[in-house]
Amino acid sequence: MIDAVTLNALAIVAIVGAIAGFIGGFVANADNLIGTLLMGAIGGISLSAIFTIAGWEPFISVGAEEFSLVWGAVGGVILGFAVGRSN
């Protein structure tokens, strides 16, 4: 079960990833920027969680598990840009 601290940290990473995904979709001239928001949140959570599990050092950490906001933003931009270009 996910505790409240970890869930809050993942929510913060998702917000950062969504904003970064919106920026990535805007750069990619996406038709649907709402989709890039959602994919940015997914990309932010996944990349931050993968690098946390792998033991990489977080640049700006949040939560007890130390999820990285920077890796969340990178994952959001990458996935938002990819979805924006695929339209």
Domains in the chain: boundaries:
1-59
What is the C-alpha to C-alpha distance for residues 41 and 73, in angstroms, rounded to an integer? 9
Coil, strand or helix at 2: coil
What is the C-alpha to C-alpha distance for residues 29 and 22, in angstroms, rounded to an integer? 10
Is the pLDDT confidence value at 87 over 80?
no
pTM of the model: 0.90
Residue 35 structure tokens: 């989709």
| pLDDT tens-digit readout, 19-72 | 999 999 999 998 888 989 999 999 999 999 999 999 888 888 888 788 999 999
Looking up tokens 């920027």 gives 33
